[in-house]
Structure 1
């Protein structure tokens, strides 16, 4: 990690316009957003119509493109979890948004449950999943060894008490169950290119900022074995579009596509894609 990254001052471009700093966590090696909002203040930073994972809106070309890519991504996620050997195909999706991944899994014979803190998103998700989605305060009510697979698609970076939450996930997993965690990677080329304008910092909603070493350190503490790493190829383009807007005031489609493509090509050698999926196994 460079000294330059730990000294970055990042603006909240989505809601408040406030400035936050990144600081290194000495125990695990990830970056922390500082100062962090108190738990009872965090919801205020999600109050924007542009928070796309909490809505099914298709108001413009950007949102339409997002949903088009999401349909492809859903099939890739389904392919991933279908590749696991499971006893009963039980799935918990934490931070499930409007429930499209749960709906896709349910249609493919998974027994699904979801956790979603946002009331509006949860209401939409329940319409798609026959009332299978609950608020986050219900997470600890599930019995131990309940799930073959637990997924967090760009959720871990939002959770305020990492150690406590990971211990719950481990308890809820069956023996040999998988925890699937997708997070942005601040070691990617697009992150180094856009620096403080990199949209995936998304402070203060993203409380933590991970690289591969910090993920290994963090989950190794809980004896969750890293069982594989996969790229999320579309994220570099999506993040670059937003980053261009933050940097120049315009999404600048051609420039963003070029940076996203360049990031993916560089990652063929470095393996440092814009976002990475980590598969962790309970042993």
Structure 2
């Protein structure tokens, strides 16, 4: 396997890092990967990491439910139940942000297309981009329209979308700045960019540490917290207008984290419910540091 070593921070450009955690890929390869933290801005990222042309092997698992609607097992059944409710919530939020109207939606990294299907049913005109061939085929069948490969982003008309969404996708993208620039190119000047990512400053992340499933190395290349997400988006002329909690993620991620522990240490459903509840309570009462956060951004006034 060929890896690439980042010599500068993707957010601020500093060349000074410190090792934060060594995390094992327990989903596919069992390899160890290091998460480093920039000593200037605090941004956390997996370094070194597999090159973009080699990362595909780390997604080769039938259990990877976002790429495989047929994935089975208790965790995937729970995921699918939660997805039913979260899709409805996401579509309602999207429509609210657009003043109660429907418009043109681009979902980047749309997986098997369930969110796009919900948005289309609600009256949105939808376009999906997805790198995984199996997920793309599944989404195409679900929507009854072609789902495109990410390279097609460069061919889409400028200023053509009212909303661009990335649901747990930006942390996977090798070409971080190039992709954001391309997404902004196709977003209307008054449009909304919605980015959902895990939050390593959450209580469940602090509790599970290197066993926190949402580190998901090496598939997750970056590990955003509110401050560094704000800095990244500001570099692209964006401001965060809302930061919203994804409260179900605390339970789902805790369930995955317990599963990855050794049998003698892993807890059952009560442990999972307790960890998820405590994480959400901590965030609600203190700092808003939920297990996953949804950032809603628009262009800053100075950016036009």
Same structural fold, with TM-score higher than 0.5 when normalized by the shorter chain:
yes
Query: Secondary structure of the equivalent of 2:283?
Result: helix
**Which residue is 2:293 aligned to?**
276
User: Which of 40, 44, 52 is equivalent to 2:65?
Assistant: 52
**Which residue is 1:226 aligned to?**
240
Q: Please give the TM-score of this superposition, normalised by the length of structure 1.
A: 0.95
Structure 1 residue 257 corresponds to structure 2 residue 294:
no
- Shifted more, 39-48 versus 132-141: the winner is 132-141
Which consecutive residues of structure 1, in runs of 5 or more, have no partner in the other structure? none
Distance in 1 (CA, whole Å) between partners of 2:269 and 2:154 is 43
Distance in 2 (CA, whole Å) between partners of 1:94 and 1:129 is 15
Q: Can you list the C-alpha shifts for 1:55-80, whole angstroms capped at 9, x where unaligned?
A: 11252332222111100000110111
Q: Can you list the C-alpha shifts for 1:64-121, whole angstroms capped at 9, x where unaligned?
A: 2211110000011011100123686000001101001111111111000000100010
Distance in 1 (CA, whole Å) between partners of 2:81 and 2:68 is 14
CA separation of 1:132 and 1:10: change in aligned 2, threshold 3 A:
same
**Which residue is 1:43 aligned to?**
56
**Which residue is 1:20 aligned to?**
33
CA separation of 1:216 and 1:206: change in aligned 2, threshold 3 A:
same
Distance in 1 (CA, whole Å) between partners of 2:66 and 2:153 is 20
Q: Can you list the C-alpha shifts for 1:148-175, whole angstroms capped at 9, x where unaligned?
A: 0000000000000111111111111001
Which consecutive residues of structure 2, in runs of 5 or more, have no partner in the other structure? 1-17
Q: Can you list the C-alpha shifts for 1:15-44, whole angstroms capped at 9, x where unaligned?
A: 111001111245653211011101111001
Q: Please give the TM-score of this superposition, normalised by the length of structure 2.
A: 0.88
Distance in 2 (CA, whole Å) between partners of 1:43 and 1:116 is 13
Distance in 1 (CA, whole Å) between partners of 2:41 and 2:158 is 27
Structure 1 residue 114 corresponds to structure 2 residue 131:
no
Alignment of 1:78-117 (within 5 A): 78-85=91-98, 89-117=103-131
**How far has the Cα of 1:256 moved from its partner?**
1.3
Distance in 1 (CA, whole Å) between partners of 2:158 and 2:38 is 30
CA separation of 1:56 and 1:221: change in aligned 2, threshold 3 A:
same
**Which residue is 2:7 aligned to?**
none
Question: How many equivalent pairs are there?
Answer: 279
User: Which of 144, 149, 159 is equivalent to 1:145?
Assistant: 159
